[in-house]
Chains A and B, each alone.
Chain A
Amino acid sequence: MSNSEPMLAADGTPLKRSLARALRREKMRALMLIAPLLLFILLTFILPVADMLYRSVDNKIVSEILPRTVVALQDWDADSGELPDEAVFAAMAADLQQAAQEKTHTKVGVRLNYEQPGISSLFRKSGRKAKKWNVEEGGPWKEQLIEVHKGWGDPEVWRTIQTYSPRVTQGYYLNAVDMQVGTNGAEMRPENEQIYGILFWRTMKMSLIITLSCIALGYPVAWLLANLPARHANLLMILVLLPFWTSLLVRTSAWKIMLQQQGVINDVLVWIGFVADDSRLVMINNQFGTIVAMTHILLPFMILPMYSVMQTIPPSYLRAAKSLGATNWTAFWRVYFPQSIPGIGAGSILVFILAIGYYITPALVGGTTGTFISNRIAFHISSSLNWGLAAALGAILLAVVLILYWAYDKIVGIDNVKLG
């Protein structure tokens, strides 16, 4: 039979189609089995993530609440330094009245306040008055609005409204990287207002330090786990897993007790005369405290993958190396260590990605210098309610993690990561 002709099944249909039909039932059944999980993940993970990603650019609130103003402002040149003409003010008055009736004027005020502080009160005050206006016959609106609040006489307010009138915006992202839209397009914020770059950099740096500490502390433990006789190894494994059975808050609080200035470690150091009583070490509410506590909390995530990889390395390799004349160190470094790298890789990815998004521990023991970007995101979600900015920060964090993952794949190769 020649290779060019498709293989036929007994009934004359192409073999490929016949096979696909035969496998379809099995595929459907497999799909049915994972359907609950798939649905669960879709509803609780993929959709929220997609929603947050959308929120980071979503800006339809301005054009929905101020539809007439947005249209009227289209032809205004913000760089002219002059106020918009009467038609724009009239459109704003109409929009404000409608918004006030629907009680949405404060929302748009809050939104624009992110970009230019003060706009929130402008809208709140104007909205109260707007209910009584006669939009059809009143006017002129320019003078009337400026009379209600002098903010309407500031071209910058109108520029902000115009800048943020499109339905999507890059404003949140600019904000998230310490930039703003100025007169000449995007520009860096003043030095003293920059915060997110510092936080991102600190998050990266501290996550890296935590990952390295976990490798240094976890490697010997994993080695012991893989090489001790089963009875002792089980006991050690319980000790490794013990933190998992303890509440995260309890563990973090324990570190507070250990590390604070009147805490156990300082007391001991003072008692043995290592530090003076009046110069106790500051080990908590700073970066040091965060690194210590998070290393402790994330250590099992490093040990377990390393352990499962080391378990697959037969002891005969080390013996072989020694029988070939290698010292203990050479045998370890040239033969054992290279084979344990996949475990280090897996543990490092796990710990680094967990650390980069960690939130509770830095919030509790981080003070002001040890907080992570995730704490800032939490602040915007729950306190400042600037969800768009929180979403932009989260999206950047997600992108950074994906880029690092990609880089890891390029440099080390993701196939080299083994969990057992």
Chain B
Amino acid sequence: MADSGNSDAFVAFERVQKSYDGETLVVKDLNLSMPKGEFLTMLGPSGSGKTTCLMMLAGFETATHGDILLDGVSINNIPPHKRGIGMVFQNYALFPHMTIAENLSFPLEVRKMGKSEREEKVKRALDMVEMGAFGGRRPAQLSGGQQQRVALARALVFEPELVLMDEPLGALDKQLREKMQFEITHLAHELGITTVYVTHDQTEALTMSDRVAVFNDGRIQQLAPPDLLYEKPENSFVAQFIGENNTLEGVVTEMKGDTCVVRLDDGEELDATPINVTSVGERTRVSIRPERVEVDKNRLQEGAHTLKAEVLEFIYMGDIFRTRLRVAGNDEFIIKTRNAPDQVRLEPGAQIEIGWLPEDCRALDAS
């Protein structure tokens, strides 16, 4: 599913494996290539191998097998300090005994840069993240968001072409996080730097990235732009992991090219788009996004499939209504409807009919 390395990729993983104990692989056969200037997010649950990949790229872990290429050159044997990769750490790792300006000056000093040039670059980097007035402070005197900005400025001040970010917004509150997401993406695109961003927060991944690599179990499950990832998940892990998702289990009874027929476990039959089911008789998990389910008969589009449902719970969430239904024996079937003037509010206990288009109903693997 991950694309194989090609010659003009800026960053490439080629058949990379990593094991810590010699018994289990944390990263299994990773292939990935990134063009220059891309903002790529590695998304996955903890233990999925995404941070290990980042650490291998930064040089703090060595690949057990395979090559990591930077600008066409294998960096397996280059120590971290010679890779010239900027990195933002989870807890910022700002040196507590140095002032902000000294922190930013550090990478320039070790590069033996002259004093005036250093000062100028530090000033420019601080201004870039709107922290120009804080050069004389110490990290402990700054708020979390300010530290985050400084950490970003420090990773960028020596003008690396590649910047790695390891869950940099994890410690911030929701509002600040959203603001910083926006700022980081802007900065990255403005400066044209290639960014590898690691997170377990799917919203962050979807809103910030050019492409998202969904990790699970040491493999990339799907590598795609955010919209494709959300709307066309290629397996049930991705469908479950990204966004909210309803699943109905059943068996494929008929394959008709672009569509297939699935008989659900309660006997009901429905049309679905086959994604990674290939043969009749295969067990499958049908996935439907909550916002693609229609409850108003009059608005059902042509070709839509309908099912009976019982309303179990109605939750008012302000901008949307979230309704829990029992559909084909599944008590956790969620639908989301927009809070519009003409929208019906479903009463618990009501028997209704719901429907969706076969294109929105994807038959995925049952695992």
Task: Kindly list chain B residues whose C-beta atoms are within 8 Å of the C-beta of A328.
Answer: 81
Q: CB within 8 Å of A: which of B72-88?
A: 79-87
Distance (whole angstroms) from the CB of A182 to the closest CB of chain B? 55
Task: Kindly list chain B residues whose C-beta atoms are within 8 Å of the C-beta of A314.
Answer: 91, 93
CB pair A326–B97 under 8 Å, yes or no, is no
Segment touching A, from B103-111, B183-191, B298-306, B309-317: B103-111
CB pair B96–A339 under 8 Å, yes or no, is yes
Residue in A317, A325, A338, A339 whose CB lies within 8 Å of B107 = A325
* Complex interface bits, B43-59 against A, C-beta within 8 A gives 1, otherwise 0: 00000000000000011
**Given contact pairs A325-B81, A325-B107, A326-B81, A319 touches B97 in the complex (Cβ within 8 A):** no
A17 at the interface (CB under 8 A from B): no
CB pair A316–B89 under 8 Å, yes or no, is yes
Q: CB within 8 Å of A: which of B96-136?
A: 96-97, 106-107, 110-111
Residue in B60, B81, B90, B164 whose CB lies within 8 Å of A327 = B81
How many Å lie between the Cα of A330 and that of B81 in the bound state? 10
Nearest CB in chain A to that of B84: its residue: A325
**Given contact pairs A319-B60, A319-B80, A335-B95, A324 touches B89 in the complex (Cβ within 8 A):** no
CB pair A320–B89 under 8 Å, yes or no, is yes
CB pair B110–A326 under 8 Å, yes or no, is yes
Task: Kindly list chain B residues whose C-beta atoms are within 8 Å of the C-beta of A401.
Answer: none
Which residue among B58, B60, B90 has the maximum number of chain A CB atoms within 10 Å of its CB? B60
Distance (whole angstroms) from the CB of A342 to the closest CB of chain B? 10
How many Å lie between the Cα of A339 and that of B85 in the bound state? 25
How many interface residues does A have (CB within 8 Å)? Answer: 19
CB pair B91–A323 under 8 Å, yes or no, is no
Distance (whole angstroms) from the CB of A231 to the closest CB of chain B? 13
A334 at the interface (CB under 8 A from B): yes
CB pair A322–B96 under 8 Å, yes or no, is no
**Given contact pairs A319-B60, A324-B158, A325-B158, A330 touches B91 in the complex (Cβ within 8 A):** no
* Complex interface bits, A301-322 against B, C-beta within 8 A gives 1, otherwise 0: 0000000000000101101111
Task: Kindly list chain B residues whose C-beta atoms are within 8 Å of the C-beta of A331.
Answer: 81
How many Å lie between the Cα of A406 and that of B202 in the bound state? 56
Task: Kindly list chain A residues whose C-beta atoms are within 8 Å of the C-beta of B84.
Answer: 325
How many Å lie between the Cα of A324 and that of B106 in the bound state? 8
Task: Kindly list chain A residues whose C-beta atoms are within 8 Å of the C-beta of B154.
Answer: 324
Compute the total of residue contacts between A and B using a CB distance below 8 Å.
65
Which residue among B59, B82, B87, B111 has the maximum number of chain A CB atoms within 10 Å of its CB? B87
Task: Kindly list chain B residues whose C-beta atoms are within 8 Å of the C-beta of A322.
Answer: 59-60, 79-81
**Residues of B contacting A: mostly:** loop
CB pair A324–B96 under 8 Å, yes or no, is no
Task: Kindly list chain B residues whose C-beta atoms are within 8 Å of the C-beta of A316.
Answer: 89-91, 93
Nearest CB in chain A to that of B107: its residue: A324
Nearest CB in chain B to that of A338: its residue: B97
Task: Kindly list chain A residues whose C-beta atoms are within 8 Å of the C-beta of B158.
Answer: 324-325
Chain B: number of interface residues, binned into ranges: 20 to 34
How many Å lie between the Cα of A319 and that of B97 in the bound state? 16
CB pair B87–A325 under 8 Å, yes or no, is no
**Given contact pairs A314-B91, A338-B97, A339-B96, A323 touches B110 in the complex (Cβ within 8 A):** no
Task: Kindly list chain A residues whose C-beta atoms are within 8 Å of the C-beta of B96.
Answer: 339
Nearest CB in chain A to that of B166: its residue: A316
CB pair A317–B95 under 8 Å, yes or no, is yes
How many Å lie between the Cα of A239 and that of B87 in the bound state? 38
How many Å lie between the Cα of A321 and that of B95 in the bound state? 9
Task: Kindly list chain B residues whose C-beta atoms are within 8 Å of the C-beta of A321.
Answer: 95, 106
* Complex interface bits, A332-363 against B, C-beta within 8 A gives 1, otherwise 0: 00110011000000000000000000000000
How many Å lie between the Cα of A391 and that of B364 in the bound state? 89
Task: Kindly list chain A residues whose C-beta atoms are within 8 Å of the C-beta of B164.
Answer: 323
How many Å lie between the Cα of A316 and that of B166 in the bound state? 11
Which residue among A316, A320, A330 has the maximum number of chain B CB atoms within 10 Å of its CB? A320
How many Å lie between the Cα of A307 and that of B10 in the bound state? 42
Distance (whole angstroms) from the CB of A336 to the closest CB of chain B? 10
CB pair A325–B111 under 8 Å, yes or no, is yes
CB pair B91–A324 under 8 Å, yes or no, is no
Distance (whole angstroms) from the CB of A309 to the closest CB of chain B? 13
Distance (whole angstroms) from the CB of B353 to the closest CB of chain A? 55
Distance (whole angstroms) from the CB of B157 to the closest CB of chain A? 9
How many Å lie between the Cα of A261 and that of B87 in the bound state? 58
**Given contact pairs A325-B107, A327-B81, A320 touches B97 in the complex (Cβ within 8 A):** no
Task: Kindly list chain A residues whose C-beta atoms are within 8 Å of the C-beta of B87.
Answer: 319-320, 323
Task: Kindly list chain A residues whose C-beta atoms are within 8 Å of the C-beta of B111.
Answer: 325
How many Å lie between the Cα of A236 and that of B358 in the bound state? 64
How many Å lie between the Cα of A349 and that of B287 in the bound state? 67
CB pair B106–A323 under 8 Å, yes or no, is no
CB pair B106–A334 under 8 Å, yes or no, is yes
Distance (whole angstroms) from the CB of A311 to the closest CB of chain B? 15
Task: Kindly list chain A residues whose C-beta atoms are within 8 Å of the C-beta of B83.
Answer: 323
Distance (whole angstroms) from the CB of A229 to the closest CB of chain B? 11
How many Å lie between the Cα of A240 and that of B32 in the bound state? 47
**Given contact pairs A314-B91, A316-B89, A330-B110, A323 touches B58 in the complex (Cβ within 8 A):** yes
Task: Kindly list chain A residues whose C-beta atoms are within 8 Å of the C-beta of B59.
Answer: 322-323
Distance (whole angstroms) from the CB of A138 to the closest CB of chain B? 83
How many Å lie between the Cα of A325 and that of B59 in the bound state? 12
CB pair B80–A323 under 8 Å, yes or no, is yes
Residue in B89, B90, B93, B106 whose CB lies within 8 Å of A326 = B106
CB pair A319–B93 under 8 Å, yes or no, is yes
Distance (whole angstroms) from the CB of A248 to the closest CB of chain B? 38
Q: List 29 A-B contacts (CB under 8 A).
A: A314-B93, A319-B80, A319-B87, A320-B87, A320-B89, A320-B93, A320-B95, A321-B95, A321-B106, A322-B79, A323-B59, A323-B83, A323-B85, A323-B87, A323-B164, A324-B81, A324-B106, A324-B107, A324-B110, A324-B154, A325-B81, A325-B84, A326-B81, A327-B81, A327-B110, A328-B81, A330-B110, A334-B106, A335-B95
- A residues at B contact (CB < 8 Å): 314, 316-317, 319-328, 330-331, 334-335, 338-339
Cβ-closest 6 pairs across A and B: A324-B107, A320-B93, A323-B87, A316-B93, A322-B80, A338-B97
- B residues at A contact (CB < 8 Å): 58-60, 79-87, 89-91, 93, 95-97, 106-107, 110-111, 154-155, 158, 164
Since A320-B87, A325-B84 are in contact, a sample of 8 more A-B pairs with Cβ atoms closer than 8 Å, ordered by chain A residue number, is A314-B91, A316-B89, A319-B60, A319-B93, A322-B60, A322-B81, A323-B81, A324-B106
